[in-house]
Amino acid sequence: MRYWRAAEPKRSYDVVVVGGGGHGLATAYYLARNHDVTDVCVLEKGWLGGGNTARNTTIIRSNYLWDASAGIYDHSLTLWEGLEEDLGFDLQFSQRGVLNLAHDQGDVRSSLRRVNANALNGVDAEWLTPAEVAGFCPIVNVSPDVRYPVLGATLQRRGGTARHDRVAWGFATAADRLGVDVVEHCEVTGFVRGEGGRVEGVHTTRGTIAAASVALVAAGHTSVLAAMVGLRLPLQSHPLQALVSVLLDPVLGCVVMSNAVHVYVSQADKGELVMGAGIDAHNSYTQRGSFHVIEHQLAAALELFPVFAHAKLLRTWGGVVDVCPDASPIIGRAPIDGLFLNCGWGTGGFKATPGAGWVLAETIAKGEPAALAAPFALERFTSGALVDEHGAAAVAH
Protein backbone atom coordinates (compact mmCIF):
# COMPACT_ATOMS: atom_id res chain seq x y z
CA MET A 1 0.00 0.00 0.00
CA ARG A 2 1.26 3.49 -0.83
CA TYR A 3 0.74 6.17 1.79
CA TRP A 4 0.88 8.99 -0.77
CA ARG A 5 0.79 9.30 -4.58
CA ALA A 6 4.12 9.65 -6.43
CA ALA A 7 2.88 12.88 -7.99
CA GLU A 8 4.17 14.24 -11.29
CA PRO A 9 4.81 17.95 -10.81
CA LYS A 10 2.33 20.22 -12.62
CA ARG A 11 3.58 23.33 -14.42
CA SER A 12 1.99 25.69 -11.92
CA TYR A 13 0.84 25.85 -8.29
CA ASP A 14 -0.46 28.42 -5.84
CA VAL A 15 2.26 27.41 -3.40
CA VAL A 16 5.50 25.47 -3.88
CA VAL A 17 7.17 24.28 -0.68
CA VAL A 18 10.87 23.50 -1.16
CA GLY A 19 11.85 20.73 1.23
CA GLY A 20 10.01 17.49 1.97
CA GLY A 21 10.92 17.05 5.61
CA GLY A 22 8.51 17.27 8.49
CA HIS A 23 8.33 21.08 8.45
CA GLY A 24 7.68 21.33 4.70
CA LEU A 25 5.06 18.60 4.74
CA ALA A 26 3.36 20.12 7.80
CA THR A 27 3.29 23.49 6.02
CA ALA A 28 1.55 21.93 3.02
CA TYR A 29 -0.86 19.99 5.22
CA TYR A 30 -1.94 23.05 7.24
CA LEU A 31 -2.25 25.18 4.07
CA ALA A 32 -4.85 22.68 2.88
CA ARG A 33 -6.46 21.87 6.22
CA ASN A 34 -6.64 25.33 7.80
CA HIS A 35 -6.76 27.67 4.81
CA ASP A 36 -8.28 25.62 1.99
CA VAL A 37 -5.17 26.22 -0.13
CA THR A 38 -4.89 22.84 -1.84
CA ASP A 39 -3.05 23.74 -5.06
CA VAL A 40 0.23 23.01 -3.28
CA CYS A 41 3.35 21.07 -4.18
CA VAL A 42 6.13 19.86 -1.87
CA LEU A 43 9.47 19.37 -3.67
CA GLU A 44 12.08 17.08 -2.12
CA LYS A 45 15.49 16.60 -3.73
CA GLY A 46 16.04 13.23 -2.06
CA TRP A 47 13.55 10.90 -0.47
CA LEU A 48 10.80 12.17 1.77
CA GLY A 49 11.88 12.83 5.34
CA GLY A 50 15.44 11.71 4.57
CA GLY A 51 17.21 14.82 5.87
CA ASN A 52 17.12 16.10 9.41
CA THR A 53 13.66 14.57 9.96
CA ALA A 54 15.34 11.15 9.84
CA ARG A 55 18.46 12.19 11.74
CA ASN A 56 17.32 13.84 14.95
CA THR A 57 16.82 12.38 18.42
CA THR A 58 13.01 12.93 18.35
CA ILE A 59 12.77 14.91 21.57
CA ILE A 60 9.63 17.00 22.04
CA ARG A 61 9.31 19.70 24.72
CA SER A 62 8.26 23.33 25.05
CA ASN A 63 10.10 24.51 28.19
CA TYR A 64 11.84 27.48 26.57
CA LEU A 65 12.61 30.65 28.51
CA TRP A 66 11.28 33.56 26.48
CA ASP A 67 7.62 34.40 25.84
CA ALA A 68 7.97 34.23 22.05
CA SER A 69 9.55 30.78 22.26
CA ALA A 70 7.04 29.49 24.79
CA GLY A 71 4.32 30.69 22.41
CA ILE A 72 5.43 28.77 19.34
CA TYR A 73 6.92 25.70 21.02
CA ASP A 74 3.94 25.18 23.32
CA HIS A 75 1.54 25.66 20.41
CA SER A 76 3.52 22.93 18.71
CA LEU A 77 3.36 20.64 21.75
CA THR A 78 -0.40 21.21 21.98
CA LEU A 79 -0.70 20.20 18.32
CA TRP A 80 1.40 17.07 18.98
CA GLU A 81 -1.08 16.10 21.69
CA GLY A 82 -3.88 15.82 19.12
CA LEU A 83 -1.84 15.05 16.03
CA GLU A 84 -2.33 11.28 15.76
CA GLU A 85 -6.08 11.78 15.82
CA ASP A 86 -5.91 14.75 13.44
CA LEU A 87 -3.75 12.96 10.86
CA GLY A 88 -5.38 9.56 11.44
CA PHE A 89 -1.86 8.17 11.73
CA ASP A 90 0.04 6.47 14.55
CA LEU A 91 3.13 8.56 15.38
CA GLN A 92 4.23 6.61 18.48
CA PHE A 93 3.91 9.91 20.35
CA SER A 94 4.90 9.30 23.95
CA GLN A 95 4.68 11.92 26.71
CA ARG A 96 7.21 10.19 28.93
CA GLY A 97 8.59 13.40 30.47
CA VAL A 98 11.77 15.38 29.82
CA LEU A 99 14.34 15.98 32.58
CA ASN A 100 16.83 18.84 32.19
CA LEU A 101 19.59 18.31 34.76
CA ALA A 102 21.36 21.07 36.70
CA HIS A 103 24.98 20.50 37.73
CA ASP A 104 26.12 23.71 39.39
CA GLN A 105 24.61 26.71 41.17
CA GLY A 106 24.37 28.69 37.94
CA ASP A 107 22.44 25.83 36.36
CA VAL A 108 20.16 25.66 39.41
CA ARG A 109 19.35 29.37 39.31
CA SER A 110 18.72 29.44 35.54
CA SER A 111 16.63 26.27 35.79
CA LEU A 112 14.44 27.72 38.56
CA ARG A 113 14.08 30.91 36.56
CA ARG A 114 13.00 28.86 33.54
CA VAL A 115 10.48 26.86 35.61
CA ASN A 116 8.95 30.13 36.82
CA ALA A 117 8.97 31.66 33.33
CA ASN A 118 7.30 28.51 31.98
CA ALA A 119 4.64 28.65 34.70
CA LEU A 120 3.85 32.27 33.80
CA ASN A 121 3.39 31.19 30.17
CA GLY A 122 1.17 28.24 31.04
CA VAL A 123 3.87 25.71 30.14
CA ASP A 124 4.03 22.80 32.58
CA ALA A 125 7.31 22.73 34.50
CA GLU A 126 8.49 21.36 37.83
CA TRP A 127 11.71 21.51 39.83
CA LEU A 128 12.96 18.20 41.21
CA THR A 129 15.52 17.72 43.99
CA PRO A 130 18.28 15.13 43.43
CA ALA A 131 16.27 12.57 45.43
CA GLU A 132 13.21 13.29 43.30
CA VAL A 133 15.33 12.95 40.14
CA ALA A 134 16.43 9.50 41.34
CA GLY A 135 12.79 8.65 42.04
CA PHE A 136 11.69 9.68 38.55
CA CYS A 137 14.68 8.16 36.74
CA PRO A 138 16.42 5.57 38.95
CA ILE A 139 19.44 4.97 36.72
CA VAL A 140 20.68 8.59 36.84
CA ASN A 141 23.75 8.82 39.04
CA VAL A 142 22.90 11.41 41.72
CA SER A 143 25.86 10.69 44.00
CA PRO A 144 27.60 13.90 45.12
CA ASP A 145 31.16 12.69 44.48
CA VAL A 146 31.23 12.92 40.68
CA ARG A 147 32.80 15.66 38.57
CA TYR A 148 29.39 17.20 37.71
CA PRO A 149 26.97 16.21 40.49
CA VAL A 150 23.22 16.38 39.83
CA LEU A 151 21.92 19.26 41.96
CA GLY A 152 18.37 18.95 40.67
CA ALA A 153 16.43 19.00 37.43
CA THR A 154 13.50 20.56 35.71
CA LEU A 155 10.78 18.19 34.56
CA GLN A 156 8.27 18.77 31.79
CA ARG A 157 5.85 15.86 32.06
CA ARG A 158 4.12 16.71 28.75
CA GLY A 159 7.44 16.38 26.92
CA GLY A 160 8.57 13.16 25.30
CA THR A 161 9.31 11.62 21.93
CA ALA A 162 7.66 10.55 18.66
CA ARG A 163 8.70 8.27 15.83
CA HIS A 164 10.40 10.67 13.39
CA ASP A 165 9.82 8.78 10.13
CA ARG A 166 6.15 8.32 10.84
CA VAL A 167 5.78 12.05 11.42
CA ALA A 168 6.92 12.72 7.84
CA TRP A 169 4.80 9.87 6.50
CA GLY A 170 1.76 10.99 8.48
CA PHE A 171 1.90 14.58 7.25
CA ALA A 172 2.59 13.42 3.67
CA THR A 173 -0.34 11.00 3.74
CA ALA A 174 -2.76 13.53 5.21
CA ALA A 175 -1.59 16.31 2.85
CA ASP A 176 -1.87 13.98 -0.14
CA ARG A 177 -5.42 13.12 0.88
CA LEU A 178 -6.28 16.85 0.76
CA GLY A 179 -4.87 17.19 -2.76
CA VAL A 180 -1.26 18.26 -2.12
CA ASP A 181 1.31 16.91 -4.59
CA VAL A 182 4.35 15.36 -2.88
CA VAL A 183 7.20 15.16 -5.40
CA GLU A 184 10.39 13.33 -4.43
CA HIS A 185 13.72 13.29 -6.28
CA CYS A 186 13.15 16.79 -7.64
CA GLU A 187 15.86 19.31 -6.80
CA VAL A 188 15.43 23.06 -7.08
CA THR A 189 18.22 24.51 -9.25
CA GLY A 190 17.08 28.13 -9.53
CA PHE A 191 14.22 30.58 -9.24
CA VAL A 192 11.92 32.22 -11.76
CA ARG A 193 12.11 35.99 -11.22
CA GLY A 194 9.46 38.42 -12.38
CA GLU A 195 8.89 42.14 -12.24
CA GLY A 196 10.95 43.82 -9.52
CA GLY A 197 12.72 40.54 -8.79
CA ARG A 198 9.57 38.89 -7.48
CA VAL A 199 9.90 35.11 -7.14
CA GLU A 200 7.36 33.52 -9.48
CA GLY A 201 8.44 29.89 -9.49
CA VAL A 202 11.33 27.46 -9.39
CA HIS A 203 13.59 25.73 -11.89
CA THR A 204 14.01 22.08 -10.98
CA THR A 205 15.63 18.90 -12.22
CA ARG A 206 12.13 18.00 -13.47
CA GLY A 207 11.34 21.26 -15.25
CA THR A 208 10.21 24.74 -14.39
CA ILE A 209 7.25 25.15 -12.02
CA ALA A 210 5.42 28.45 -11.64
CA ALA A 211 4.12 29.45 -8.21
CA ALA A 212 2.40 32.47 -6.67
CA SER A 213 4.33 31.77 -3.45
CA VAL A 214 7.49 29.78 -2.79
CA ALA A 215 8.44 28.66 0.72
CA LEU A 216 12.00 27.59 1.56
CA VAL A 217 11.84 24.89 4.23
CA ALA A 218 15.19 23.28 3.57
CA ALA A 219 16.98 23.37 6.95
CA GLY A 220 20.74 23.03 6.49
CA HIS A 221 20.59 23.82 2.76
CA THR A 222 18.54 27.02 3.10
CA SER A 223 21.61 29.21 2.54
CA VAL A 224 22.38 27.39 -0.71
CA LEU A 225 18.86 28.07 -2.02
CA ALA A 226 18.82 31.65 -0.72
CA ALA A 227 22.10 32.35 -2.51
CA MET A 228 20.31 31.53 -5.80
CA VAL A 229 18.18 34.66 -5.28
CA GLY A 230 21.06 36.71 -3.88
CA LEU A 231 19.72 36.55 -0.34
CA ARG A 232 22.25 36.37 2.52
CA LEU A 233 20.90 34.99 5.78
CA PRO A 234 22.29 34.87 9.33
CA LEU A 235 22.70 31.10 9.15
CA GLN A 236 25.66 28.78 9.50
CA SER A 237 25.35 25.10 8.57
CA HIS A 238 27.00 22.69 10.99
CA PRO A 239 27.14 18.91 11.38
CA LEU A 240 25.03 17.56 14.23
CA GLN A 241 25.64 13.96 15.19
CA ALA A 242 23.59 11.38 17.02
CA LEU A 243 24.02 7.70 17.79
CA VAL A 244 22.24 4.60 19.01
CA SER A 245 23.28 1.67 21.16
CA VAL A 246 22.42 -1.94 20.51
CA LEU A 247 18.90 -3.02 21.49
CA LEU A 248 18.43 -3.26 25.25
CA ASP A 249 15.61 -4.22 27.57
CA PRO A 250 13.64 -1.20 28.87
CA VAL A 251 15.97 0.71 31.19
CA LEU A 252 15.21 4.39 30.64
CA GLY A 253 11.59 5.51 30.81
CA CYS A 254 11.98 9.25 30.18
CA VAL A 255 14.12 11.74 28.26
CA VAL A 256 17.20 13.05 30.11
CA MET A 257 19.11 16.11 28.94
CA SER A 258 22.18 17.71 30.44
CA ASN A 259 23.55 20.98 29.19
CA ALA A 260 26.69 21.22 31.32
CA VAL A 261 27.75 17.60 30.83
CA HIS A 262 26.25 17.78 27.36
CA VAL A 263 24.34 14.76 26.33
CA TYR A 264 20.68 13.98 25.81
CA VAL A 265 19.29 10.49 25.78
CA SER A 266 16.09 8.50 25.55
CA GLN A 267 15.30 4.88 24.80
CA ALA A 268 13.45 4.00 21.62
CA ASP A 269 10.49 1.64 21.86
CA LYS A 270 12.57 -0.96 20.01
CA GLY A 271 15.25 -0.75 22.71
CA GLU A 272 18.11 1.39 21.42
CA LEU A 273 19.47 4.17 23.58
CA VAL A 274 19.24 7.26 21.35
CA MET A 275 21.83 9.92 22.16
CA GLY A 276 22.82 13.30 20.82
CA ALA A 277 24.96 16.21 21.90
CA GLY A 278 26.22 19.46 20.43
CA ILE A 279 27.15 20.55 16.93
CA ASP A 280 30.62 20.27 15.47
CA ALA A 281 32.09 23.78 15.65
CA HIS A 282 32.98 24.10 11.97
CA ASN A 283 30.67 24.73 9.03
CA SER A 284 30.00 21.68 6.90
CA TYR A 285 27.43 20.15 4.54
CA THR A 286 28.94 16.67 4.73
CA GLN A 287 26.35 15.05 7.04
CA ARG A 288 29.23 13.74 9.12
CA GLY A 289 30.99 15.14 12.14
CA SER A 290 34.19 14.39 13.99
CA PHE A 291 34.67 11.48 16.37
CA HIS A 292 35.87 13.57 19.30
CA VAL A 293 32.36 15.03 19.61
CA ILE A 294 30.94 11.52 20.05
CA GLU A 295 33.72 10.59 22.49
CA HIS A 296 32.83 13.67 24.56
CA GLN A 297 29.11 12.88 24.64
CA LEU A 298 29.69 9.23 25.58
CA ALA A 299 31.97 10.27 28.43
CA ALA A 300 29.15 12.50 29.66
CA ALA A 301 26.61 9.71 29.29
CA LEU A 302 28.73 7.25 31.23
CA GLU A 303 29.15 9.60 34.16
CA LEU A 304 25.42 10.24 34.34
CA PHE A 305 24.43 6.61 33.66
CA PRO A 306 27.16 4.20 34.86
CA VAL A 307 24.95 1.29 33.76
CA PHE A 308 25.47 2.36 30.13
CA ALA A 309 29.03 1.02 30.34
CA HIS A 310 27.49 -2.35 29.42
CA ALA A 311 26.01 -1.02 26.18
CA LYS A 312 27.68 -1.27 22.78
CA LEU A 313 27.52 1.50 20.20
CA LEU A 314 25.55 0.35 17.16
CA ARG A 315 25.79 3.26 14.72
CA THR A 316 26.33 7.00 14.46
CA TRP A 317 25.20 9.49 11.86
CA GLY A 318 25.06 13.21 11.17
CA GLY A 319 22.73 15.83 9.79
CA VAL A 320 23.29 19.40 8.63
CA VAL A 321 21.68 21.97 10.91
CA ASP A 322 21.23 25.66 10.11
CA VAL A 323 22.08 27.64 13.22
CA CYS A 324 21.00 31.25 13.89
CA PRO A 325 23.04 33.64 16.04
CA ASP A 326 20.29 33.71 18.70
CA ALA A 327 19.43 29.98 18.57
CA SER A 328 15.91 30.82 17.41
CA PRO A 329 14.33 30.16 14.02
CA ILE A 330 13.53 32.52 11.16
CA ILE A 331 9.88 32.28 10.06
CA GLY A 332 8.06 34.63 7.74
CA ARG A 333 8.35 36.65 4.56
CA ALA A 334 11.71 37.01 2.88
CA PRO A 335 12.71 40.52 1.72
CA ILE A 336 11.82 39.34 -1.81
CA ASP A 337 8.17 39.28 -2.88
CA GLY A 338 6.70 35.83 -3.34
CA LEU A 339 9.29 34.16 -1.12
CA PHE A 340 8.79 32.80 2.43
CA LEU A 341 11.28 31.35 4.90
CA ASN A 342 11.23 28.73 7.62
CA CYS A 343 14.80 28.01 8.70
CA GLY A 344 17.36 28.45 11.43
CA TRP A 345 15.90 25.83 13.78
CA GLY A 346 19.43 24.65 14.47
CA THR A 347 19.46 21.61 16.71
CA GLY A 348 15.85 21.82 17.86
CA GLY A 349 13.50 21.71 14.90
CA PHE A 350 11.84 18.32 15.28
CA LYS A 351 9.74 19.30 18.29
CA ALA A 352 8.44 22.30 16.35
CA THR A 353 7.32 20.34 13.28
CA PRO A 354 3.55 20.84 13.60
CA GLY A 355 3.82 24.34 15.10
CA ALA A 356 6.20 25.63 12.44
CA GLY A 357 4.02 24.22 9.67
CA TRP A 358 0.94 25.78 11.25
CA VAL A 359 2.34 29.32 11.49
CA LEU A 360 4.11 29.27 8.12
CA ALA A 361 0.91 28.08 6.42
CA GLU A 362 -0.99 30.96 8.06
CA THR A 363 1.72 33.44 7.06
CA ILE A 364 1.61 32.29 3.42
CA ALA A 365 -2.18 32.11 3.23
CA LYS A 366 -2.76 35.55 4.75
CA GLY A 367 0.34 37.24 3.36
CA GLU A 368 1.24 38.62 6.76
CA PRO A 369 3.04 37.08 9.75
CA ALA A 370 1.05 34.77 11.99
CA ALA A 371 1.02 36.19 15.52
CA LEU A 372 3.14 33.35 16.91
CA ALA A 373 5.65 33.75 14.05
CA ALA A 374 5.99 37.54 14.13
CA PRO A 375 8.80 37.65 16.75
CA PHE A 376 10.83 35.29 14.54
CA ALA A 377 10.89 37.49 11.44
CA LEU A 378 14.22 38.04 9.69
CA GLU A 379 13.96 41.76 10.54
CA ARG A 380 14.88 41.05 14.17
CA PHE A 381 18.56 40.98 13.22
CA THR A 382 18.27 44.59 12.08
CA SER A 383 15.99 45.81 14.88
CA GLY A 384 18.02 44.01 17.54
CA ALA A 385 14.97 42.26 19.02
CA LEU A 386 16.69 38.88 19.19
CA VAL A 387 15.05 35.88 20.87
CA ASP A 388 18.16 34.70 22.65
CA GLU A 389 17.59 31.06 23.55
CA HIS A 390 21.24 30.03 23.94
CA GLY A 391 21.51 28.26 27.27
CA ALA A 392 18.09 29.62 28.14
CA ALA A 393 16.68 26.86 25.95
CA ALA A 394 18.08 24.41 28.49
CA VAL A 395 20.64 22.96 26.11
CA ALA A 396 23.51 24.51 24.23
CA HIS A 397 22.81 25.00 20.56
The residues of the shown chain that bind another protein, judged by CB under 8 A, are 221, 223-224, 227, 232-237, 281-286, 290-292, 322, 325, 381-384
Q: Is 97 helix (H, G, I), strand (E, B) or coil?
A: coil
Is the CB of 236 or the CB of 266 nearer to another protein?
236
DSSP string, 357-394: HHHHHHHHHHSS--TTTGGG-TTHHHH------TTTTS
Least distance between another protein and beta carbon 368 (Å): 22
The Cβ of residue 230 has, within 10 Å, a number of other Cβ atoms equal to 10
- Give the largest CA-CA distance in the chain: 68
Distances (CA, A) of 340 to 104, 216, 335, 364, 386: 42, 6, 9, 7, 20
Is the CB of 47 or the CB of 291 nearer to another protein?
291
Least distance between another protein and beta carbon 26 (Å): 24
CA 368 to CA 382: how far, in whole Å?
19
Burial (CB count within 10 angstroms: exposed 0-12, middle 13-18, buried 19+), residue 333 = buried
Least distance between another protein and beta carbon 234 (Å): 4
Is the CB of 200 or the CB of 280 nearer to another protein?
280
Is the CB of 61 or the CB of 238 nearer to another protein?
238
Least distance between another protein and beta carbon 310 (Å): 27
Is the CB of 2 or the CB of 232 nearer to another protein?
232
CA 240 to CA 264: how far, in whole Å?
13
Is the CB of 53 or the CB of 284 nearer to another protein?
284
CA angle 278, 280, 284 (to 5 degrees): 135
Is the CB of 55 or the CB of 221 nearer to another protein?
221
Least distance between another protein and beta carbon 370 (Å): 23
Least distance between another protein and beta carbon 235 (Å): 6
The Cβ of residue 6 has, within 10 Å, a number of other Cβ atoms equal to 10
Q: Any residues with CB less than 8 A from the CB of 251 and at least 6 apart, and which?
A: 139, 267, 273, 307
Least distance between another protein and beta carbon 322 (Å): 8
